[in-house]
Amino acid sequence: MEETFIDEEKLKRSDFEMQIPGILILSVIMLLFSAGMLIIRDIEDKSLDRLKLTKMTVFDYVSGVTLTQIIVGIISVISTYFLATLFGFRSLGSISSVIIICMIAFIGIIGITFIVVSFCKNATIFVVAGQFPLFVLIFFSGAMIPIPRNPMFYLFDNGICWNDFLPVGMAVTSLNSVFNDGKSILDLNYQIIYSSIISLIYLIIGLYLFNKKHLKLKS
């Protein structure tokens, strides 16, 4: 069988091009370990205990870790995107839309990182405990293999599937819309708002647990 698009503006996609959204999301998910090892190192060598004796606030520490990892993530996404174009990948949308979608996903991944680190005392425990969220995010977000979209309920006429509750679930759908349909951030306003809310929920939960387990001074 040979696919023929009715809309001539649509690009005929190769198997490689169809996998690019998942590869980009995979680079986002792997931020879990780079950020986690950075935090757990501060816990292991007691740097966090020394920082707690200073005037450092929770916001200071968290913003420092988050901003540095987002920069690393953006570099990773841009490098992956341009490397893919060298191998023949074509996108109907702009790379700026891709970066914004991935940045929102980064926030959710950082939130999951803080959640996992909250229950870990050293790098060994973190590596073992981090395998579970990593497995779920890779195989059940649609990044590795396509997941059937069977809506559980509808919100503003948009179907919400169970994997949309993952911080990168909606990002996969959004990237496909950018690459295949040429949609911009303005066209994806619902997906962007929804992804932002989900990512912020994960981040808030992560910060609460991390502050309770590691940042509060013990009497």
Question: What is residue 151's three-state secondary structure?
Answer: coil
If you write DSSP's letter for every residue of 53-85 in order, what string do you get?
TTT--HHHHHHHHHHHHHHHHHHHHHHHHHHHH
Q: Are 155 and 128 in contact (CB under 8 A)?
A: no
Residue 24 domain flag: yes
Q: Which pLDDT score, from 0 to 100, does residue 198 have?
A: 93
> pTM for this one?
0.83
Q: Which pLDDT score, from 0 to 100, does residue 146 have?
A: 74
Q: Which pLDDT score, from 0 to 100, does residue 59 have?
A: 77
Residue 183 domain flag: yes
- Measured in degrees and rounded to the nearest 5, phi and psi for residue 159 equal -75, 130
> Would you tell me how many other CB atoms lie within 10 Å of the CB of residue 42?
17
Q: Which pLDDT score, from 0 to 100, does residue 4 have?
A: 55
Q: Which pLDDT score, from 0 to 100, does residue 8 have?
A: 46
Q: Is the dihedral of CA 81, 82, 87, 93 positive or negative?
A: positive
Q: Which pLDDT score, from 0 to 100, does residue 199 have?
A: 92
Residue 5 domain flag: no
Residue 32 domain flag: yes
Q: Per-residue pLDDT tens, the chain, 219 aa: give them.
A: 655 554 444 556 777 778 888 888 888 888 888 888 888 888 888 887 787 777 777 778 788 888 888 888 888 888 888 888 888 888 888 888 989 998 899 999 999 999 999 888 888 889 898 889 988 888 888 777 777 777 887 777 777 888 888 888 888 888 888 888 888 888 888 889 989 999 999 999 998 898 888 776 554
Domain with 94 in it: 15-47+55-215
- Measured in degrees and rounded to the nearest 5, phi and psi for residue 155 equal -130, 115
Spatial distance between the Cα atoms of 74 and 104, rounded to a whole number of angstroms: 11
Q: Are 12 and 21 in contact (CB under 8 A)?
A: no
Q: Which pLDDT score, from 0 to 100, does residue 161 have?
A: 83
Domain tally, the chain: 1
Residue 2 domain flag: no
Residue 8 domain flag: no
Residue 146, amino acid: P
- Any idea which residue has 């779920």 for tokens? 136
Q: Which pLDDT score, from 0 to 100, does residue 115 have?
A: 93
Residue 71 domain flag: yes
Residue 85 domain flag: yes
CA 62 centroid distance within chain: 17
